[in-house]
Amino acid sequence: MDTHNLKGTIGLPQAIALYIGAVLGSGVLIVPGLAAEIAGPASLLAWGLMTLLVLPLALTMGLLSAKFPNAGGVSHFVTLAFGPQAGSLVGWFFLMSVPIGAPVAALTGAGYMTVAMGWGDSARVALAAGMLAIGLLTNLIGMKVVGQVQIAVVLAIVSVLVLAIIGAVPHIDSVNFTPFMPHGWVSVGRSAALMFWCFIGWEAVSHLSEEFLDPQRAAIKGVTIAAVIVGVLYFLTALATVGTHSYHTAGSDASLVLVISKLLGPWGALVAGLTGVFICTATIIAYTGATSRLAYALARKGDAPRWMGILSKRFGTPTGGIGFLALCFGAVLSLYGSGLISLTTLIQFPNATFILTYLGGCAAGIRLLKGSRWGVGICWLSFLSTAVIFPFVGWAVLYPLVIIAGFWITRLLRDKSTIYHKFHI
């Protein structure tokens, strides 16, 4: 296995763009409409709560990344706080989330384009495959290129979202806010659990912290700027979706298409479709980078197959991890394309594992940041707010249970093999 270190190439602007790209992903396209269907206008209460919580969630990961920069990210933080077994398990939670989460993001963005252009489902799968290929190839070339691409993509995304929000203002009607809570308080909790999909991403960039030129500045300042931008954009997009009632007219998974179409007329559908593709490609790039680095870090520790730790001699990038993701992406897209599993089912699988990854990172922060009272306070706030949301994931809790079972069976077999070789050599 190649043991060269990853190269430091990420400055503050690239870090901000990577954070925004990782967090402001497919969620902004699909979740405002889905949350409004679940809780009605009261979903805005959940959005308000999540917008307030986004800064401590982000700062928890930023503070840990600044103090302990490592390609292992949250897995590394948990290892330092609770030992190697806990760290490896949390690493596998994240590692097995992205192979499903990235294709979900790709299919969501591609779905916006196919809805906008009137294309069929085969075109959606093909476009999603192309978006995933871009994420893999840019990360193969290196994080400097990724950061530059991400800056351009994020600027385009923010511009279109701001334009859509401004354009929606004349179409907002107070009638669309009544009845305010048609399905009770439980529906607000359910919509908040769904919204967690929108605010995951801070932990992803922690896996890139080993490649920050100045971890202290890039992690803390970068994550703070990104959190403010992301929180405001999410809330205003949800307000536009509820106020125009577009989730009822266009369908919950294409509500933003209608908002943009009303603003730009005939060109609106194309712009909305391209926005969906850009937003989700930005997410895919960030998560592919994070997961391939995590695969490398786990292999470096001996907690993943050795081939996952292979680095490119030319670019110094983790080709083993990128290859692992390419295989997983192909398998998930094939399942979806065959009709054996729906996008609604797919999106729920990684939710529980992402939340558990956050809980592990927050718990590690409480122990590792003891020298900073406000740092520990932020970690406690993040931990408790995330723990409150976890029970609402429902049946998706089965997925991390399968990962836990696989993890311990693998370790047991490996330990037995080690003992056997020790006594038979």
State residue 103's pLDDT score: 94
Cα separation, 330 vs 323, whole angstroms: 11
Q: C-alpha angle 258/263/267, rounded to 5°? A: 80
Q: Is the pLDDT of residue 291 over 50?
A: yes
Instruction: Identify the burial level of 218 via C-beta atoms within 10 angstroms of its C-beta, where 0-12 means exposed, 13-18 middle and 19 or more buried.
Output: buried
Taking the whole predicted model, whether its pTM rises above 0.75 is answered as: yes
Bridge partners, residue 212, by sequence:
10
State the pLDDT at residue 3. 46
Most confident of 115-119, 174-178, 179-183, 374-378: 374-378
Question: Lowest-confidence range among 15-19, 96-100, 152-156?
Answer: 152-156
Task: Give the model confidence (pLDDT) of 304-323 as tens digits.
Answer: 888 999 988 888 889 999 99
- Please tell me the predicted confidence (pLDDT) of residue 1: 42
Average pLDDT, the chain: 83
**What percentage of the chain has pLDDT greater than the value 70?**
89
Buried b (16+ CB within 10 A) or exposed e, 331-361: ebbeebbeeeeeeeebbbbbbbbbbbbbbbb
pLDDT exceeds 70 at position 9? yes
- For residue 38, the model assigns a pLDDT of 85
- Predicted pLDDT at 320: 94
pLDDT of 248 strictly over 80: no
pLDDT range class, residue 218, cuts 50, 70, 90: confident
What domains are there in the chain, each with its CATH number? 12-398 (1.20.1740.10)
Residue 238 has pLDDT above 80, yes or no: yes
Using CA of residue 348, residue 352, residue 357, residue 363, what is the dihedral sign? positive
Residue 227 near residue 32, CB atoms below 8 Å? no
How far apart (Å, rounded) are the C-alpha atoms in residues 387 and 206? 21
pLDDT on residue 2: 44
Q: Of 127-136, 226-235, 268-277, 333-342, which has the strongest mean pLDDT?
A: 127-136
Say what the pLDDT of residue 64 is.
Answer: 93
Least confident interval from 236-240, 270-274, 302-306:
270-274
pLDDT tens track for 31-48: 787 788 888 888 899 888
pLDDT digits (tens, 9 = 90+) for 55-94: 888 899 999 998 998 888 899 999 999 999 999 999 999 9
Interatomic CA distance for residues 239 and 316, integer angstroms:
44
At 86 the pLDDT is: 94
What local confidence, expressed as pLDDT, does residue 191 receive? 83
Model confidence over 141-167: pLDDT tens digits?
Answer: 876 677 777 788 788 878 878 887 887
Whether pLDDT at 253 is above 60: no
